[in-house]
């Protein structure tokens, strides 16, 4: 039993680190887009719930929210698990609605268009149709598009937003599209073929190799900062850490049950890539990412695999029930099998990262 108590005592380290990081995030505050709905997708959960363009989301399950990052951070873990009560405000009046997220299957998390199924589109009008950067050697450059070009239409449809253009690109992987653009006051036509890319979940989509220009003044007008005092930051840290733990546990349960794809697993290469992207978005986003990684490592460490702490707990629990140590040969074979399993998993996630 002493072994069991010692092993159990070592487990909370990852979760305590996540709590500390989350507490720091709450104190530092998050800056992001206000949770105001710009558009609602037809036949989506939001449309069914009664969300309308112009609504601002002010609370989820009774907890105040301000930013889209917080909204999606609460909604995504609820997919396939539970419905979420949403309070929206428009023209000084508030309405209470319900998003029926429990109706979505776990496989919805693999869907690159999950955001469309939820149906609430943030105001991204600060992303313009001007091409700030055309990636050298990419499909757009090969088609003759250049930095500073302004996209007018694609595939005979007028482009009203960057999202419209992205939808055309993503839907036409490997297929030629016609792009009408303006350059120095004159219109031009480019025939471009988006290259085929693969998301982390294994879904394919088109990629053109262009980066849009940002209207910084418009973007600044849409930003807000969400910051908590010490008491609220501590409460948020506990709740968000628990949400991470529960959603990570469900992820592994769904993964083992075949309800979601193993292509969602990331190894050191993928983690480094995501960490770099998080760091580029700011220190607070990086802290959030590190908290998620810490929780993931903590949950993995709880798996009943020999050589992991979860395996040690299982062994000591069995020895406690049997009131004698397990035979050395069984412990040795279990350790070898556990090590082989971890090596196989490690190889698989690296393959996932590099493919």
Q: Is the pLDDT of residue 107 over 60?
A: yes
Render pLDDT for 188-204 as a digit per residue (tens, 0 to 9).
999 999 999 877 666 78
Residue 222 lies in a domain: no
Whole-number Å distance between alpha carbons of 91 and 49: 19
Give the mean pLDDT of 323-351.
Answer: 81
- What is the per-residue pLDDT for 225? 87
Q: Residue 352: which pLDDT band, with cuts at 50, 70 and 90?
A: low
Residue 109 lies in a domain: yes
Give the mean pLDDT of 284-313.
Answer: 83
Share of the chain above pLDDT 90, in %: 37
Q: Report CA-CA distances (Å) from 37 to 52, 77, 85, 99, 223.
A: 7, 20, 16, 14, 14
Give the mean pLDDT of 139-155.
Answer: 95
Q: How many domains does the chain have?
A: 3
> Is the same domain home to 354 and 235?
yes
Q: How many CA atoms lie within 13 A of 217 on its CB side?
A: 0
Torsion angle of C-alpha atoms 285, 290, 294, 295, degrees rounded to 10: 10
For residue 176, the tally of other CB atoms under 10 A from its CB is 12
Whole-number Å distance between alpha carbons of 150 and 89: 35
Of the residues 214, 247, 269, which one is the last residue of a structural domain? 214
- What is the per-residue pLDDT for 213? 96
> Is the same domain home to 175 and 187?
yes
> Is the same domain home to 244 and 330?
yes
For residue 280, the tally of other CB atoms under 10 A from its CB is 9
Of the residues 188, 214, 240, which one is the last residue of a structural domain? 214
Of the residues 95, 123, 151, which one is the last residue of a structural domain? 123
> Is the same domain home to 56 and 156?
no
Residue-range definition of the domain harbouring residue 319: 1-29+227-355
> What's the predicted TM-score (pTM) here?
0.71
> Is the same domain home to 307 and 350?
yes
- What is the per-residue pLDDT for 147? 95
- Helix axes of 283-301 and 230-256: crossing angle, nearest 10 degrees: 50
Whole-number Å distance between alpha carbons of 273 and 121: 26
């Amino acid at each position: 039993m002493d072994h069991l108590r010692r092993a159990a005592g070592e487990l909370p380290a990852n979760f305590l680190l996540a709590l500390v990081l989350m507490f720091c995030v709450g104190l530092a505050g998050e800056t992001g887009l206000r949770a105001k709905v710009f558009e609602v997708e037809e036949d989506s959960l939001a449309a069914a719930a009664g969300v309308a363009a112009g609504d601002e989301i002010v609370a989820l399950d009774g907890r105040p929210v301000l930013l889209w990052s917080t909204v999606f951070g609460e909604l995504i873990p609820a997919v396939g698990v539970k419905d979420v009560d949403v309070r929206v405000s428009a023209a000084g009046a508030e309405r209470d609605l319900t998003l029926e997220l429990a109706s979505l299957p776990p496989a919805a998390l693999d869907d690159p268009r999950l955001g469309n199924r939820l149906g609430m589109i943030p105001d991204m009008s600060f992303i313009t149709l001007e091409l700030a950067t055309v990636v050298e050697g990419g499909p757009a450059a090969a088609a003759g598009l250049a930095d500073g070009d302004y996209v007018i239409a694609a595939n005979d449809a007028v482009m009203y937003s960057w999202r419209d253009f992205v939808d055309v690109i993503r839907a036409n992987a490997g297929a030629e599209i016609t792009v009408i653009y303006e350059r120095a006051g004159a219109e031009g036509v480019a025939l471009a073929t988006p290259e085929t890319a693969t998301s982390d979940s294994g879904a394919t989509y088109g990629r053109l190799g262009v980066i849009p220009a940002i209207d910084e003044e418009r973007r600044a007008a849409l930003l807000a900062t969400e910051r908590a005092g010490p008491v609220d930051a501590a409460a948020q840290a506990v709740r968000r850490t628990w949400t991470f733990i529960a959603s990570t546990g469900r992820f592994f349960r769904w993964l083992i049950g075949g309800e979601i794809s193993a292509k969602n697993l990331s190894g050191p290469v993928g983690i480094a890539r995501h960490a770099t992207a998080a760091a580029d978005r700011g220190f607070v986003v990086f802290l959030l990412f590190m908290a998620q990684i810490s929780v993931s490592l903590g949950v993995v460490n709880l798996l009943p695999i020999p050589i992991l702490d979860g395996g040690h707990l299982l062994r000591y629990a069995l020895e406690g029930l049997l009131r004698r140590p397990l035979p050395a040969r069984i412990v040795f074979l279990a350790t070898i099998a556990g090590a082989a399993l971890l090596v196989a998993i490690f190889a698989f996630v690296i393959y996932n990262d590099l493919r």
